[in-house]
Amino acid sequence: MEKIFNNTQVAFSLKSDTELERAYFLFKMIANQPLVRIGTAVTNFALKANLPVEKLIRATVFDHFCGGVNEDDCITVVDKMYTKGVCSVLDYSVEGKEEEEQFDAALKMTLKTIEFAKEREAIPFAVFKPTGLGRFELYEKLGEKQTLNPAEQAEWNRVIERFDIVCKEAHKNDVALLIDAEESWMQDAADDLVTDMMRKYNKEKTIIFNTLQMYRWDRLDYLKKLHEQAKTEGFFIGMKLVRGAYMEKENKRAEEKNYPTPICASKEATDINYDAAVLYMLEHLATMSIFAGTHNESSSYTLMQLMQQRGIAHNDHRICFGQLYGMSDNISYNLAANGYNVAKYLPFGPVKDVMPYLIRRAEENTSVAGQTNRELELLKTERKRRKG
């Protein structure tokens, strides 16, 4: 398999020299763990104290990792990326809400993004988080097989209704819908709900996608069981495959509550698990669609190679590669240049509300071995190339 991800000219073709320097500066900062911790604390304090820091955040970390403060704001970025064949997934990244009106607002926003996607080839997917439409504790209670009291049951019925409204709208407008995964202790309830939606709306083709976090050792078995169910009941499966974003939290909780961690024993085990899920889905591509959400070059090459071996076209509509905006441009743009389907997750929302997401991104980058250094090396190479 030809190595294509080192072509920095293609990777950063949309970046001006100024944007390239800003990216280099940002990843230099992120590479420094103590700085990320201090920066996070200071930023949180400044925002809570209503200090005038939004402009600074907007001009640096926000504009690098986000598309804008609202969906209209994102269109410039969406159109720009699409000139290079890279699609967008508009991701309303407001996290940690608890109130009914906030869930209704998130529902409204998700429906708006489906409307946007319907009208634009450059936006093939819509997306939402389960906790965007309902309270975390409810999912958790149901996941632990606890009985809901009447008020909670009424609240859960509203969560089901929101899910159904979004999925029905996606189905009606023929827009694929990605539903993100979250912490393992709330995921069972979310999985059951998403499966209900697949059963209902994936009868003719894949519209609804669940997410499998492959740093969990039980997820491949879950996929195989779901496949048996889908065969019996006659529905298509859509899966976004990711490694996962809550590792430290998962391990810590397992230790505190004295149960076996759901996380694979090693990074290598996670990689093997991820590639095994990709292979399993490719073997059953007649009834499955894959959104391969990965920043891992090796996994990307593995999928490309498997497609080649099986004679699957680069642009087969059932396979899409995905990365986050502001990261792994070397993978996204080089894949697109070679005719593969690629989509960048493009987060948006008010600066203050998106900060938890951005902080998670920065912390994740410092904890994923080699991620930040690789970004820096690629940016360094491109700076050098431009200076000739």
The pLDDT, as a whole number, for residue 388 is 80
Cβ contact 182:129 at 8 Å: yes
Closest C-alpha among 243, 250, 246, 254 to residue 292: 243
Domain of residue 315, CATH code: 3.20.20.220
CA dist 355 and 56 (Å) reads 13
Q: Which of 146, 154, 158 lies closest to 189 in space, CA to CA?
A: 146
Say how far apart CA 233 and CA 329 lie, in whole Å. 40
| Helix orientation angle between 100-119 and 150-172, rounded to the nearest 10 degrees | 10
Q: Classify residue 44: in a domain, yes or no.
A: no
- 13 part of a folded domain: no
Domain that holds residue 190: 67-350
Q: Per the structure block, which two tokens stand in for 321?
A: 């590669």
Inside any domain, residue 361 = no
Pairing of β 176-179 and β 342-348: unpaired
Residue 78 forms part of a structural domain:
yes
313: left (phi over 0), alpha (psi -120 to 50) or beta: beta
| pLDDT score recorded for residue 43 | 81
pLDDT confidence of residue 364: 66
Pick the closest to residue 163 from 118, 206, 129 (CA basis). 129
Residue 22, domain member (yes or no): no
Residue 11 is assigned to a structural domain of this protein:
no
- Whole-angstrom Cα distance, residue 318 to residue 286? 9
Q: How far is CA 310 from CA 70, 221, 307, in A?
A: 41, 24, 5
Angle at 267 between CA 262 and CA 271, to 5 degrees: 95
At 146-179, the pLDDT tens digits run 999 999 999 999 999 999 999 999 999 999 999 9
> How far lies 194's CA from each of 134, 233, 276, in Å?
14, 15, 22
Give kind and range of the element (H or E) at residue 322. Answer: strand 319-324
pLDDT confidence of residue 17: 97
Provide the number of structural domains found in the chain. 1
pLDDT at 97: 74
For the purposes of burial, counting CB atoms within 10 Å of the CB of 272, is it exposed (0-12), middle (13-18) or buried (19 or more)?
A: middle
Q: Spell out the residues 6+ positions from residue 59 whose beta carbon is closer than 8 angstroms to its own.
A: none
With beta carbons less than 8 A apart as the criterion, state whether 163 and 200 touch: no
- pLDDT for the residue numbered 368: 62
Is 359 within a domain? no
Residue 118 falls inside a structural domain: yes
CB distance 69 to 349 below 8 Å: yes
Q: Which residues of the chain, if any, have pLDDT below 70?
A: 95-96, 363-369
